Amino acid sequence: MTHPDMEARIVRYGDLKPCKTAFIDAHTPGSDQKENFTIIGGGVSESPDQHVHIGLPHGFNIGAAGQPPRVRNSLHDHHTAEVFFVLKGKWRFFWGRWGDAGEVVLEEGDIFNIPTGIFRGFENIGTDYGMIMAILGGDDAGGGVMWAPQVIEDAADHGLILGENGKLYDTKRQQKLPDGVEPMPLMTDEELAKRPEPTTADVLPNHVARYWDMMALADRKPVNVIGEHGLLRDKPGFEVDFITRGSATEAKHSHPYPSVLMPMRGHWKIRWDASGGHPAGEATLAPGDTMSVPQNMPHSAVPSMTGEASLYHVVATGDPAGHTWTG
């Protein structure tokens, strides 16, 4: 049985509540059909309409973006890590001042730890509605989003103004900047000139891991995908592991920080011991579901049905969230 306190820490894919006005490009043609989801943590939405499913601090944020084919998310940057894995569809990620420095196409299950300090965007290039899951470093996700200047200018042409307070104001809804709040200033040419323009060859080897490679590597023990000694070496304040049927175990374990379980394929049975006022229990997760496990709670995750099974596991490390680690 699932105790109500623990059930509240599970966000089912079918219960996700989208926000279509989360960011400054919500009215810009080509970007006006995208949906943003804030699953764990406050996220980086600029809209008061954004629903937060689980507001508890974890040391990182979990979100998602859902988009119909050929809809894109405009060029932006964060102060901390931004990691995506493709839950559904086929996606093109691109980066640079104008989005033409490099690009990579990700299939379902692939993961991308995008380097900080560069503008990045993405679009659904599949044939159906697609979904990518996101991990953002830090409890405050680095304090918001930095937009390429042309994104802010295009948004103003379509009625949306971003205040220096990080909030959106929709002139189509007769909203205006409050007294004392100025528009978000555009980055200067000097600031833009300091931003690197890495090529695909620069980015791909150290920042992208492919699903079927991880499936092969995790045949006997979980693979550390993002971590100090991971496939993608980084210390963003959290680690990401990849688990398959062959590397899953009934043996329970715990962490000194909250952790998150995110199935990619198959159904997974999660069992936990009594801890911190929560009684023992179990639940079954499906692809797209997200479960927050409290710190110090012994738990296990194993496939509950035959067939392909894979799961992403995210846990905070206590390291400060910040720029991409180069140690």
Full pLDDT tens readout for the chain, 327 residues: 467 789 999 999 999 999 887 778 877 877 788 899 999 998 777 777 789 999 999 999 999 999 999 999 999 999 999 999 999 999 999 999 999 999 999 999 999 999 999 999 999 999 999 999 999 999 975 457 889 999 998 888 888 888 888 888 888 888 889 999 998 899 999 999 999 999 999 999 999 999 999 999 999 999 999 999 999 999 999 999 999 999 999 999 999 999 999 999 999 999 999 988 888 999 999 999 999 999 999 999 999 999 999 999 999 999 999 999 987
d(CA 314, CA 250): 18
What's the pLDDT at 126?
Answer: 97
Looking at 191, 206, 221, the residue that finishes a domain is 206
DSSP bridge pairs for 34: none
- DSSP lists the bridge partners of residue 147 as 76
Distance CA 243, CA 302 (A): 9
H or E element in which residue 11 lies:
strand 10-11
Q: Any idea what DSSP says for residue 177?
A: P
Question: Does residue 3 belong to any structural domain of this protein?
Answer: no
Task: Name the domain boundary from 188, 206, 224.
Answer: 206
198, part of any domain: yes
Q: Give the residue numbers spanning the domain of 265.
A: 210-316
CB hemisphere CA count around 320 (13 angstroms)? 3
Phi, psi of 156 (to 5 degrees): -60, -35
Q: Are residues 127 and 271 in the same domain?
A: no
Residue 253 lies in a domain: yes
Which one of 149, 172, 206 terminates a domain?
206
Which residue is it, tokens 């102060």?
79
Q: 210 forms bridges with which residues in the sheet? A: none
Residue 281 lies in a domain: yes
For residues 115 and 234, membership in a common domain is answered with: no
**For residue 142, what is the domain's CATH number?**
2.60.120.10
Q: Are residues 136 and 90 in the same domain?
A: yes
For residue 321, being part of any structural domain is answered with no
Residues 6+ positions from 169 with CB-CB distance below 8 Å: 160, 161, 162, 163, 175, 176, 177
pLDDT of residue 143: 56
Residues 33 and 168 in one domain: yes
CB atoms within 10 A of CB 129: 15
Looking at the fold, whether 139 and 268 belong to one and the same domain comes out as: no
Residue 95 lies in a domain: yes
For residue 5, being part of any structural domain is answered with: no
CB 101 within 8 A of CB 95: yes
Q: Do 124 and 233 reside in the same domain of the chain?
A: no
Q: Which residues contact 141 (CB under 8 A, 6 or more apart)?
A: 41, 42, 43, 44, 61, 78, 80
**Residue 88 located in a structural domain:** yes
Rounded to whole angstroms, the Cα distance separating 260 from 297 reads 12
Record the tokens describing residue 91, joined without a space.
């996606």
Under a CB-based contact definition with an 8 Å cutoff, are residues 269 and 243 in contact?
Answer: no
Same domain, 184 and 293: no
What pTM was computed for the model?
Answer: 0.94
Per-residue HEC secondary structure of 152-170 comes to HHHHHHCCEEEECCCCEEE
> How many structural domains comprise the chain?
2
Distances (CA, A) of 42 to 5, 75, 262: 20, 21, 18
Are 263 and 297 part of one and the same domain?
A: yes
Q: Provide φ and ψ at 325, rounded to 5°.
A: -75, 135
Do 250 and 201 have their domain in common? no
Q: How many CB atoms lie within 10 A of CB 304?
A: 15
112 and 188 assigned to the same domain: yes
Q: Is the domain of 153 the same as that of 266? A: no
- Same structural domain, 114 and 160: yes
